[in-house]
Structure 1
Amino acid sequence: MKRLIPDTVFTRLFGLVVAALLTTHLVMTSLLLFFGPHFSRDEPPPRPPLERTAPGASLRPTLAPGDAARQPPPPPDNRNRFPAPFWLAQLVTLAIIGLLAWYGARRLARPIQQLTQAAARLGDNLEAPPIEESGPQETRQAARLFNRMQDKLRQQMAERSRFLAAVSHDLRTPLTRIRLRSAQLDDTALQARLGKDIDDMTAMLDATLAYLRDESQQESWQMLDITALLQVLAEDAQEQGHHVSVDGHADSLLTLPGSLRRCLDNLLENALRYGERADIHLQQTGDTVGIEIRDHGPGIPENRMSSVFEPFVRLEESRNRHTGGVGLGLAIARDAARRMGGTLTLHNAPQGGLIARLTLPRDAHGALYQL
C-alpha cells in the first residue's frame, strides 16, 4: 500500500522539528501559567474629579486634604524583566530540544551505520547475511541495492571458481601429453629443453591459479600465536638447509591464519631465494605487531619499489631470472596483508639487503568494522 506521505529523511526531519517546536511551546506556556505573575480582577479605584484652574488650562485632579498620603506608590523598578521562572523555562526548553534531536539523529543514523558496517564486512566475507532494509526511503533503497550487489558478487565468485577448475584441467591435460611425447625424442638436448619449458609453464600455471584462488578464498578470524608460527617457519627452512634466525616476541593476535601463513611463506621464500639467508625480527608496539624479514641480497632499486608488487613483474636487473619465480610472490603477500587489515612495505637496509616489513593490527577484525 502506497503511503500518503513518503517516509523520507526530509519528512522525518520536518516532523521532528515540528514536534520539538510544539513541545517547547506547550512547556513554556504551562510554566508561564503556573509560575508567571498574576493580575487582580478587582476594579481600579475611582479617579478624583478634575477641575479647571484657568480658562484654556488643562484639567487636573482635585485632591482633598489628606489625599496626598493616599496616593498610589510609584511604579516598581522593572529592570529585572526576566524572572526565575522564565530562565527555568528556557533551560527546560533546551533540554527537550537536545533530547529530541539526539533521539532523532540516532534513529536516522542507525540504518546508515548498518550499511557502512555491512560494506566493511563485504571485503572480508561475501557469505555475510544481507542487511535489514529498514529506515527512511533513501536508506531502504541503498540497503536493497547493496544486498543486490552482494548477490551478484557471490555469483561472479562462484563462476570464477568454476572457471579456475576448468582452466586447471584443460591446461594440465595438454601439458601432460607434451611431456609424454617429448620423452620419445631421440635428441636428449632437445628433450631437456622441452622438459624445462614444460616445467616453466607448469610453474606459471600453478602460481597463477594459486593467486586467483587465494583472492576468492574465505577464512574465519582466529587468535594466533604469531611467535610460534615464525618459529615453525624458521625450523622448516632450517631443515631444508637454509639459515634463518628469529628474535623478538609478541602476544597472540586476531587474524586470518591461512592468509598470514601464505604472506610469510612468500616473503621468506623471496628472502632465501635472493638473499641466501633471512633474519626475522618480531616487535609489538601498542596496538600493532611488526614483522621484519631481512635478506642479504642485492636489494631493489628505489625507483622500482612500487612496481614489484604488481602481478607478473620481475626485476631482471637485480634478481636472478633463472632462479626466480613468475613475479606473483609479493603480489600475493600484499593482498594477504590487506585482507588482514595490515600493510606491507619494502625498503633497502643501510648495510645491504632488502627488508620486508609486515605491520598488522592486533585486532584487525574490529578495525575493519569500526568506521
Structure 2
Amino acid sequence: MGRQADRWLWRWIGRRAPRWFERLLPASLLARFLLVMTLGVLASQLLGNLIWATYLKGKSEQEVRQASLHVAAGAISAIQYFHSLPLNYRQLVIEQMREMGGTRFFISANNAEVKLQSIDRNPLADVVLQAIHHDVIGRLPQLYALKVSFAWPDQLAVNNAGTFISELPDHWIKNTLLIQPRPAPILVIQAQIEPGQWLYLATLMPDPFFLENSDPLPPERWLLQFVTLLTVLLLSWVVARWITGPLAALSNAAEAFGKGESPILPETGSVEFVRTAQAFAAMRERIVRYLEDREKLFTAISHDLRTPITRLKLRTEMLDDDATRAEFHEDLDELDMMVKGALQSVRDSDIHENHTSISLDAMLGRMVRDARLAGHEVAFTRCGLRVQGKPLALKRAIGNLLDNALYYGRSAEISVFEGVGKRVIVIRDHGPGVPEEALETLFDPYVRLEHGRHSNSHGHGLGLGIARNIIQAHGGELLLSNHPEGGLQAMITLPGV
C-alpha cells in the first residue's frame, strides 16, 4: 500500500509540475548539477548571512546599550557636579580641567545650545542616543532641557562663538577626543542646568569605531563568500565531469552499437563504471549472438519450409477437382510468399556495411532517374547535404518509401531540409492518403490497406517496417502523416555529418 501511495504521489507531482520550470532547466546533466550546486550554495550563504546578521545586530545593540549606560553615568556625575558649583566657579574649574587633561569629557559652558551638524542616521547611533537620553532624564528630572547627538570632529563646534574643535589647543583634547589619524564620531551631550546656562560635554564611546559594527556584512565578507562559491563550483564541475564523462562514453557506445558498429568501452575509472562497461560488453555480445542466431534460424526455417511446400504443390497436382487444386495452389503460393518476405525482412534490416559519408544528391538523384526511366513522375531538388550511414541500407529504406509513393500515388515529391544537427527527407505522394486511425498500423508486418492491395497485389506489407528498422538503426526516425493538401508523406530524420 505504501509503494502504491508513493507511485501515486510522484505521478501527481509530475502532472502538477509547471512546464515552464522544465523548459528553464538545462538539458545536460553537467549543467543541471552545476545549477543545483550554485543555487544550493547561494541559498545556504543567504540563510547563513541572515542568521549571522541577526545575531550580530542583537549582540552589537546589547553591547552598545551597556556602553551607553556607562557613558551616561559619567555624564550624570559631571552635570551634578557643575550644577552644584556657583556660577562664577564653573568656568574656573573648566579651565583647570583643560590644563590638567586626562578627563573623560571635553567640557564647555554656554549661554545657549550649540547648533551641531549631526551624523547621518544610523541604527546603532540611535540606540546610543535613546539610551543616554532616557537614563539622564530619568536620573536628573530637574534639567530644563537635554540634547544628545553625534557629530564628526571636522564639523563639531564647541561654543556659541562657532569655535570648532580643530581650532582648540591640542593638549585640551588629545586625551579626550580622537581626531587624527582616523577620526571617530564624537558624542555631544548638552544639558540646560539653569535658565541661560548650558553645559556642553563631548566624549568618545568606549569603542570609538562602534558604528562599523552596524554593517554585519562588510565587503570583505562578500568577497570571501564569492571565493567560496567559485571554489565550490570548480569542485562541482570536476566531480560532474567525473560523473558525466563515463555516461557520455556509454551513451556514445550505445548509439554506435545501435548503428551496427562494435564499440568497446574502456574498463577503467570508478568501480561503478567498470561494472557498467563489463555489463555493456556482455549485453553487446548477447545481442550480437541473438541477431546471428535469428538470421540462421530464419534461413533454416526458409530452407526447411520450401521442401514441404514444394512437395505439397506436387501432390496437389494429383487432385482431380480443379477448384480444390486451385485453392491449394493459392494457399501454398501465399505461404511461400510469406516465408520469402520474412526472410527478406531479416536480411534487409541487417545489411553488413561500414558507415561512410553519403551524398544525398547522388543517392536520391540515382533513385529519381531510375524512377523516371520507368515512366514515373518524381520531383526532386538538389540540396548539397550529406549524412553518415550505410549506403545500401539507406538506399533500400528510402527506395521502399519511394516505391510505396509511386505505387499508391499518381506522382511523388522528394524534399530535403537541413535542421540543427540533422537532415530531414520528406517523400510525398499524391494518392488518396491513409485514414488517420490506420497510420499507427502501417508498420506492422503483413498489414496492407484495401487501396494498397488493389494498387500493388505483389507486395508483402513489409516494406515500411524494413524502412523504419533501417532508419532507426542509423539513429534516425520515420514518421508517416497525411499531407494537408492530400496524399501521404513520409518524413525521415537522420543525424547530420
TM-score normalised by L of structure 2: 0.52
Q: CA deviation at 1:91?
A: 4.3
CA 1:189–1:242 in structure 2 vs 1: closer, same or farther (change >3 Å)? farther
Q: Which runs of 5+ in 1 are unaligned?
A: 1-52, 54-62, 364-371
Match for 2:435: what amino acid? P
Distance, in Å, in 1 between the alignment partners of 2:98 and 2:370 is: 123
**Aligned pairs for 1:213-292 within 5 A:** 213-239=347-373, 241-250=374-383, 251-275=385-409, 277-287=410-420, 288-292=422-426
Is 1:98 the counterpart of 2:233? The answer is yes
Residue 315 (str. 1) matches residue 449 (str. 2): yes
Higher share of residues assigned helix: 2
Which sits farther off after the overlay, 149-158 or 65-74? 65-74
The separation in 2 between residues aligned to 1:103 and 1:289, in whole angstroms, is 35
1:152 equivalent in structure 2? 286
Alignment of 1:1-371 (within 5 A): 66-68=100-102, 69=171, 71=175, 73=178, 74=204, 75-80=207-212, 89-125=224-260, 127-135=262-270, 137-179=271-313, 195-239=329-373, 241-250=374-383, 251-275=385-409, 277-287=410-420, 288-316=422-450, 319-320=453-454, 323-349=457-483, 352-363=486-497
**Deviations, residues 20-55 of structure 1 (Å, cap 9, x unaligned):** xxxxxxxxxxxxxxxxxxxxxxxxxxxxxxxxx9xx
1:127 Cα deviation after fit: 2.4
Preserved contact between residue 256 and residue 262 of structure 2 (Cα < 8 Å): no
> How far, CA to CA, are the matches of 1:222 and 1:124 in structure 2?
12
Distance 1:216 1:336, change over 3 A: closer
Check the 8 A contact 2:408/2:452 in 1, yes or no: no
Per-residue CA shift, 1:228-268, capped at 9, x if unaligned?
222322332344x4313232122222233233212122112
TM-fit CA distance, 1:208: 0.7
Shift of 1:352: 4.3
1:318: how far off? 6.2
Q: Match for 1:108: what amino acid?
A: I
Distance 1:112 1:238, change over 3 A: closer
Closer, same or farther in 2 for the Cα pair 1:157/1:99, shift >3 Å? Answer: same
Alignment: residue pair count = 301
Q: 1:317 to 1:84 in 2, by over 3 A?
A: closer
User: Mind listing any 5+ residue stretches in structure 2 that lack a counterpart?
Assistant: 1-76, 78-96, 103-170, 179-203
Asked whether the equivalents of residues 381 and 414 of structure 2 are also in contact (C-alpha less than 8 Å), the reply is: yes
Give the distance between the partners of 2:323 and 2:456, measured in 1 at CA: 18
Structure 2 CA distance for aligned equivalents of residues 113 and 318 of structure 1: 44
Over the aligned positions, Cα root-mean-square deviation in angstroms equals 3.5
After TM superposition, the structure 1 stretch with the greater mean CA deviation from structure 2, 105-114 or 174-183, is 174-183
> TM-score if structure 1 supplies the norm length?
0.67
Instruction: Decide whether the 8 Å contact of 1:124 with 1:218 is kept in 2.
Output: no
Note if contact 1:283-1:289 (Cα within 8 Å) is conserved in structure 2: yes
Separation of aligned partners in 2, 1:326 and 1:297: 20
Change (3 A) 1:115 1:361: closer
Deviation at 1:206, TM superposition (A): 1.7
Specify whether residues 83 and 182 from structure 1 end up closer, same or farther in structure 2 by C-alpha distance, changes over 3 A only. Answer: closer
Cα distance in structure 2, aligned partners of 1:190 and 1:244:
43
Structure 1 contact 278–293 (Cα < 8 Å) conserved:
no
- Please report how far the alpha carbon of residue 189 of structure 1 lies from its aligned counterpart in structure 2 after TM superposition: 7.1
Identity fraction in percent: 35
Q: Identify the range of structure 1 (163-172 vs 174-183) with the bigger mean alpha-carbon deviation.
A: 174-183
Following superposition, the deviation at residue 304 of structure 1 comes to: 0.8
